[in-house]
Each structure stands twice: as structure tokens, then as C-alpha cells.
A and B are shown apart, each in its own frame.
Chain A
């Protein structure tokens, strides 16, 4: 871990917790998560905290941490890349502080660049996808080891995951985890469905029908909640 980050976490009183969690985290997640925490720290130091949003898998993880604490981290599915919505100032800050070994436009997605950050000689570089786009209107701040991280609100993140063009099994798990957080927050199923459009409802119904027998889903709403959600979705399709 870089010295700056260690010092910052020490000041925030979260260094011990961070080190404990990193010992338990999956091997492939550890360098990515450490880099993410370091990025959050540097963006804040540069005064750019209003200019980015973390989304994708790590955005989901932030909501899980918000609901369950950092105990969720070692149990989370993991992701090898960081997805940010940001701008050129964020890219420049990252280049100023991190060993960015490549910065290339995405061949498939307009307005997206892929940065590779080398964190350690022994480690592979970490992939950071930076989307140059309008930030979601609703943004939440989640605390991770005392640092503030900007993420789409739970509902925005939920909708983003339900609208993915190519839904992988791991994305379905993200949807179920976000639904679990919504359930723990005592969100009503009728209100949730009311906030979804037809495509999102259809996808949620399909994912719910596939069920919760998945190792990487950390929260399972109770049966009554799920059956009420399913019947509300059925009525709304």
C-alpha cells in the first residue's frame, strides 16, 4: 500500500480494519480494491470529489458496504476492473498520482477510455474504464474506510444493472444484491416496481424467477417480500 494512503487511513482510524479486511479478501480483488481506495483518497485531495461517480461492480459493492459494513467485502463476488464516470480532470489527476501505463479509447464504446494502472511490479496492471458522460442525476455518498465515495443512488445503480445490453450471470447477482440492500432498507416492492420501466421490470422478473441459489448473493429478501414483488411485477408487465 502506498504511504499516503496508509497515513490517511491511520488519521481516519480505519487502517487496522482495512488491513484486516484485505487479509480476507479474494486475491484478485485485493490490488483492485486497494487502488480504488487510493483513487478515492487522491480525487478527494484534488478537490474533484463532485466530478466522478463509481459504478459497475464496485458501485454495487459500495452499496453492500453501506448496508452490511466492510464484512461484505471478503464475501463479494469481486471484479477485476473499476468503472468510473468522470472527465479529463479526473484522468489528469490519476496520471499525476498513479503509474498509468496506458490510456486508450475503447474500440467498442464511444466516449469511453481504458486506463491501465500499474500498482506493483509483480502485479498485472489494473483496468479502469472511464466513461465521459453525464453523471446520473441522483448520486449517493458512501463511506469506505472513512473516505467518501460517490456512487449512483441505489435505485439508479439498480436500473443501470437491469438495462445492460448483455446481462451476464454475475450481473444478475449484482441485481439480486442491490435488491437485498433495498429490502434491508425497508423499501416497498410496489414503490420499486413503480420506479422501473417495462424493460427493467421484465428483466427483474426474469432474474427473480431464476432464484437466489447463488453463492455470491449476500442478502436474500424473505419469501413474503419476494412473492409480493413478483406479483406486483407480473401485474405491471
Chain B
């Protein structure tokens, strides 16, 4: 199923920006894996599931903090879903492990192929 999405570029600290948001979110993809493993923040693209009913509010929140909507080299992507996916046991801001692994396979196939060690750590986490 195709999800609606919005892309932004933000030059400040994305983790602080998200932690200050008054709306719920679930990280996925490489950003989700970094939050779960707490192995440092290196990704340059943060994929987040947000509730469809809160997509507009998210857009306003991000724009008010100078995140620029863009379709080129964005570093935040909001993926609107009717209901937020279940959270990982270790971090309520990250999708559950099964979904995280499946999202990584589809959303970041190269990362998925080239980082078997990270996948192993995630499965063991």
C-alpha cells in the first residue's frame, strides 16, 4: 500500500528536534537501527512513521523550526500511516524489530546487504 509522505531538510540536531515534538513517532530504517543500538548518530536520512491525522501538525512543527520541505537530498521523511506500528521493546520510538528488519530490506537495500554485523546486533538486541 502506498503511504503518503513528506520530506524535509533540517540542519540542526534531529534527535533534539524529534524529542521536543508533541506528537508520537516511530523511527525505522537506518535511523531506527541506530536508535536501537545506540551506536552513535550517523545516518543522514531519518524515516519516521507518524499518524495520518497528525501529518499536518508535524509539517507545521517542523517548518516552525526551520526544517525546509524538499524533494532533493532530504534528511527527514515522515511516512503517514493510519496507526503507528508497534514499538520495539528496547525503545518506544523505534518500530518493532521484525518491521525494522523488513523496512531496512526494502528502504535501504544496500545498507541491508552490506551490514550483516548490524543486522546480527539488532537481532541480538
Interface residues of A (CB under 8 A from B): 26, 28, 68, 71-72, 74-75, 77-80, 168-170, 173, 180, 184, 209, 211-216, 218-222
Q: Are B7 and A77 in touch, CB under 8 angstroms?
A: no
Q: Which residue of B lies closest to A80 (CB)?
A: B114
Q: Are A215 and B5 in touch, CB under 8 angstroms?
A: no
Inter-chain contacts of B73 with A (CB < 8 A)? 68, 71-72, 75, 218-219
B123 adjacent to chain A (CB < 8 Å)? no
B51 adjacent to chain A (CB < 8 Å)? no
Q: Which residue of B lies closest to A28 (CB)?
A: B114
Residue from B2, B3, B5, B109 in contact with A170 in the complex, judged by beta carbons closer than 8 Å: B109
Q: How large is the interface on B (under 10, 10 to 19, 20 to 34, 35 or more residues)?
A: 20 to 34
Given known A-B contacts A215-B111, A222-B71, A169 and B44 have beta carbons under 8 A apart: no
How far does the alpha carbon of A169 sit from the alpha carbon of B104 in the complex, in Å? Answer: 11
Q: Are A215 and B47 in touch, CB under 8 angstroms?
A: yes
What are 22 sample pairs from A and B whose C-beta atoms fall under 8 A apart? A68-B72, A71-B73, A75-B44, A78-B110, A78-B114, A80-B114, A168-B109, A169-B109, A170-B113, A173-B109, A184-B72, A209-B2, A211-B2, A211-B3, A212-B5, A213-B47, A213-B107, A214-B106, A214-B108, A215-B107, A220-B72, A221-B71
Q: Which residue of B lies closest to A171 (CB)?
A: B109
How far does the alpha carbon of A149 sit from the alpha carbon of B2 in the complex, in Å? Answer: 37
The interface centre, meaning the residue of A68, A71, A209, A218 with most chain B CB atoms within 10 A of its CB, is A218
Given known A-B contacts A74-B44, A218-B72, A213 and B110 have beta carbons under 8 A apart: no
Inter-chain contacts of B108 with A (CB < 8 A)? 214-216
Apart from the given pairs A78-B110, A173-B110, A184-B72, 13 other A-B contacts in the complex at a CB distance below 8 Å: A28-B114, A72-B73, A75-B44, A75-B73, A169-B106, A169-B109, A173-B109, A214-B107, A215-B47, A218-B72, A218-B73, A219-B73, A220-B71
Q: Are A219 and B72 in touch, CB under 8 angstroms?
A: yes
How far does the alpha carbon of A225 sit from the alpha carbon of B3 in the complex, in Å? Answer: 17
Inter-chain contacts of A212 with B (CB < 8 A)? 5
A31 to chain B, nearest CB (A): 13
Q: Which residue of B lies closest to A27 (CB)?
A: B114
How far does the alpha carbon of A78 sit from the alpha carbon of B2 in the complex, in Å? Answer: 26
